């Protein structure tokens, strides 16, 4: 099975407020083994680079000023990824930026049915533990000493190694392990796509509950906490 592990670097956190994609890195995997084929490009965002973002990835407006616009390489990117599943860390963020850029080019967005989020996988594998890329590299003994700043291709290459570990490590060659791993990935992907948020439930007691509580307290001859019933009814 062919999969693409990818990562992005951007000018900020919100594509809806004017932030843009500035770097894209992809790594091809077949049966969860990297093939050596990659896709990597920098893009001119046609805007400034906030200092906070530059501190993360080191890409300045001056460096990006002579790079192509995303529209110039959109078709190359789409041809590279094909119809393969797309693996990313906190995938909703990366999909949001790529789809914003595709929409600006008049192209169809990437379907979230293709999305595999390694953050969601990590939460299942290691509940309660840190799930950043750095933390997972440390957990699995993956060398990241050359990662002084974020970089889309470098992070995609590290994530490919993390993804193998999250989905069974060396056991992925065993038929049983592969089947169970694919089931986990599929189920997590569905959870990520279908997750809905319910409104917060009220936690204050209703008037009926307060009255019932006061009636109960009144039956106590001498409660140690004082005249609570009067305070409840105030």
Give tens-digit pLDDT for 7-47. Answer: 999 999 999 999 999 999 999 999 999 999 999 999 999 99
Q: What is the CATH number of domain 2-194?
A: 3.30.420.10
pLDDT value at position 226? 56
pLDDT value at position 101? 98
Q: Give me the half-sphere count of Cα atoms (radius 13 Å) on the Cβ side of residue 213.
A: 13
Q: For the ranges 19-23, 121-125, 168-172, which has the lowest average pLDDT?
A: 168-172
Give tens-digit pLDDT for 78-108. Answer: 999 999 999 999 999 999 999 999 999 999 9
pLDDT value at position 108? 96
Phi, psi of 203 (to 5 degrees): -115, -5
Whether 209 has a pLDDT exceeding 60, the answer reads yes
Task: Give the pair of three-digit tokens for residue 185.
Answer: 């990935």
Positive or negative, the Cα torsion across 77, 89, 197, 17? negative
Nearest Cα residue to 89 out of 130, 42, 143, 148: 130
Give tens-digit pLDDT for 136-152. Answer: 999 999 998 888 789 99
What is the β-pairing status of strands 2-10 and 33-42? unpaired
pLDDT value at position 168? 87
Residues linked to residue 42 through DSSP beta bridges, in sequence order:
23
Catalytic residue among 146, 150, 203, 213: 150
Number of H-type helices and E-type strands within the chain: 10, 5
Is there a catalytic annotation at residue 150? yes
Q: Is the pTM of this model over 0.75?
A: no
Nearest Cα residue to 9 out of 43, 47, 51, 46: 43
pLDDT value at position 223? 62
Q: What three-state secondary structure class fits 4? A: strand
Average pLDDT over all residues of the chain: 86
């Amino acid at each position: 099975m062919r999969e693409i592990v990818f990562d992005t670097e951007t000018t900020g956190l919100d594509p809806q407020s004017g932030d843009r994609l500035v770097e894209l890195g992809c790594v091809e995997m077949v049966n969860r083994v990297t093939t050596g084929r990659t896709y990597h490009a920098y893009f001119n965002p046609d805007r400034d680079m906030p200092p906070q973002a530059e501190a993360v990835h080191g890409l300045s407006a001056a460096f990006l000023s002579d790079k192509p616009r995303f529209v110039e390489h959109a078709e190359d990117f789409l041809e590279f990824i094909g119809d393969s599943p797309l693996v990313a860390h906190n995938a909703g963020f990366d999909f949001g930026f790529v789809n914003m850029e595709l929409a600006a080019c008049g192209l169809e967005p990437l379907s979230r049915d293709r999305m595999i989020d390694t953050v969601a996988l990590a939460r299942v594998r290691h509940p309660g533990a840190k799930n950043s890329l750095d933390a997972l590299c440390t957990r699995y003994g993956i060398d990241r000493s050359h990662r002084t700043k974020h970089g889309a291709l470098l992070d995609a290459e590290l994530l490919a190694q993390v993804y193998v570990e999250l989905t069974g490590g060396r056991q992925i060659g065993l038929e049983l392990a592969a089947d169970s791993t694919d089931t986990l990935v599929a189920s997590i992907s569905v959870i990520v796509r279908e997750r809905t948020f319910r409104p917060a439930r009220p936690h204050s007691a209703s008037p009926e509950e307060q009255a019932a509580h006061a009636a109960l307290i009144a039956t106590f001859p001498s409660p140690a906490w004082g005249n609570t019933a009067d305070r409840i009814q105030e």
